[in-house]
Amino acid sequence: MKKTLLFTLLLLTLASCSSLRTGVSSIPMYAPKAEINPIRANVDIDMDKKLVGKSTSSYFLLFRVNGDNKFADGMSYSSESKLSGILNARENKTKSSAAYNALHNSGADIIVHPNYVVEIKNYILFKQINVTVSGYAGYFKKFYQKEYSDNDEETVRK
């Protein structure tokens, strides 16, 4: 019994201590800057359809112990600064999850004029973040780019 337990413990220790490191040699080279015309979209807003999504995340010390695992990608917030992504990563992740919950099964493409209500409960070793997002349903109708012309050449070179 002792040998089996010792062997299992040794096997788990060896299996959990692995790492992979790869490297690539690179040489700096000249790459001209290419600017892409911005993509614009026509959005239909349904003022009668209000989207609401909620999400809760719970943390013990630095580890998330409870919460949603689906998120809306590409979310940005108007109050976001350069350090906000680092300092408010937990809050932003919960906001993104609430946005996903609002959009999921609604048929809408985007949340127009989203309002986030964030409630943070801090305990000694435990933290709970509750986020509710509400906004109007938006539907993409048409995507387009401004055509490049010779008059825009000076603007592109700057």
pLDDT single digits (tens) 40-72: 889 999 999 999 999 999 999 888 898 888 888
Answer with the residue of higher pLDDT: 4 or 51: 51
pTM of the model: 0.66
Number of Cβ within 10 Å of residue 152's Cβ equals 13
Contacts of 107 (CB under 8 A, 6+ apart): 137, 139
Selection from 11-20, 61-70, 83-92, 94-103 with the highest mean pLDDT = 94-103
> Which of 128, 63, 48, 133 lies closest to 98, judged by CA?
133
Average pLDDT of the chain is: 79
> Which of 106, 115, 50, 120 lies closest to 77, judged by CA?
115
Quick one: average pLDDT of 6-21?
63
Pairing of strands 110-122, 63-66: unpaired
Q: What are the tens digits of pLDDT across the range 114-156? A: 899 999 998 889 999 999 999 999 999 998 887 766 665 555 4
pLDDT for 45 equals 92
125: amino acid identity, one letter = L
Bridge partners (DSSP) of residue 152 are: none
pLDDT for 156 equals 47
Longest pairwise C-alpha distance within the chain:
83
The tokens describing 46, both together, are 């349904």
Bridge partners (DSSP) of residue 42 are: 142
Alpha helices (runs of H) in 108-150, residue ranges in sequence order = none
3-state secondary structure of 23: coil
